[in-house]
Each structure stands twice: as C-alpha cells, then as structure tokens.
Amino acid sequence: MTASAPDKETTGILFVCLGNICRSPLAEAALRQIADAASMDLVIDSAGTAGWHADKAPDPRACVEAARRGVNISGYRARQVVPADFDRFDMIFALDRQNFADLQSMSPAHGRASLSLLLDLVPGFEGHDVADPYYGDAEDFARTWSEVSQAAHALVARLRSGRG
Ligand code: 4NP
C-alpha cells in the first residue's frame, strides 16, 4: 500500500515480504488496528521485494482473513520496495529471512531505517520466518494473522515504552 512519508515527529514503519499481497498487508493491517486502539500515531506501509503484483489488491484470502479480524484491506495496493524507503521510514521489518537478506543487499550505506526480522519482536520466535501462506489455505492465512498481530502488539508495547 502507498502511504505518505512520515514527518519528523511521526514514526514510520514499513513491513516487507515477497509479493506484498499476503503477509505484509496483514502485518500492516494488524499494526493499524492495534495502533488505532492505542491512539498511537504511526505512518504504516508495506511493500514487496518483488514487483510482480504491483498495483494489485491483496490476495483474496488475505482480504477474507483481515475482514474476519475486523480490518478491510481490499483498498490496499501492492508496490515494490525501493532504496528510498530506507530514508522514508524509521523501522523496516522483513517477514522472513530471505526478505531480510534481499533488503540488506539493497540498503543504502547511511539510511535512516533500522532493518529487523519481524518475529524477532516476539519472545521465543526470534530468528523465525512468518511462513508464506501463498500456496496454503485459509488456516495458513489465520496463522499468518496470529503471528503478525503478536509482533504488532510487541512493537506497540516497545514504542510506548520508548524503546523504539
Ligand atoms: P507474500 O506471498 O510474499 O506474503 O505476499 C507471496 C505472494 C505471491 C507470490 C509468492 C509469495 N508469488 O509467487 O507470486
């Protein structure tokens, strides 16, 4: 999805998976929901390391899962991550280790953003991937939601405590 650039006071968070149609839009939706509930003002966006699905809506199964959890993501549109994202955002979270490696290899030398693996936020799941549900079924998408929302809760708690 395309978001406006964060200003100096507003923390900008970017989630990155491969296609930006399954996992990272769900991470974006979960964080939006949790940040809204916490009245936390964040700029939240998502992107893919690949551009195959650019300008496309999320996978219908991701839309169904988000709707089940109370978020309408049908208006999100995929985009490919670009090196400038490292200057636009404060924190970039890779959904899996391959995404992390791809992001690391494109990151500029003096970018503003920190780069981390998303599940490093969740105690006991450090170093784990959010598994790709693209070739899976509704149960896999439900598991994706569960994982990304645990990470989003942990991130909001961290930002609230000033450990950003
Ligand atoms: P995502 O899932 O990275 O979670 O959006 C995928 C979406 C599309 C493809 C692979 C993974 N694909 O091969 O087109």
List per-residue pLDDT tens for the chain, 164 residues long.
555 556 667 999 999 999 999 999 999 999 999 999 999 999 999 999 999 999 999 999 999 999 999 999 999 999 999 999 999 999 999 999 999 999 999 999 999 999 999 999 999 999 999 999 999 999 999 999 999 999 999 999 999 998 66
Please say whether the beta carbons of 115 and 106 come within 8 A: no
CB distance 22 to ligand 1 below 6 Å: yes
CB distance 23 to ligand 1 below 6 Å: yes
pTM, to two decimals: 0.95
Point out the ligand 1 atom lying closest to the alpha carbon of residue 19.
5
Nearest to 85 by CA among 24, 30, 13, 22: 13
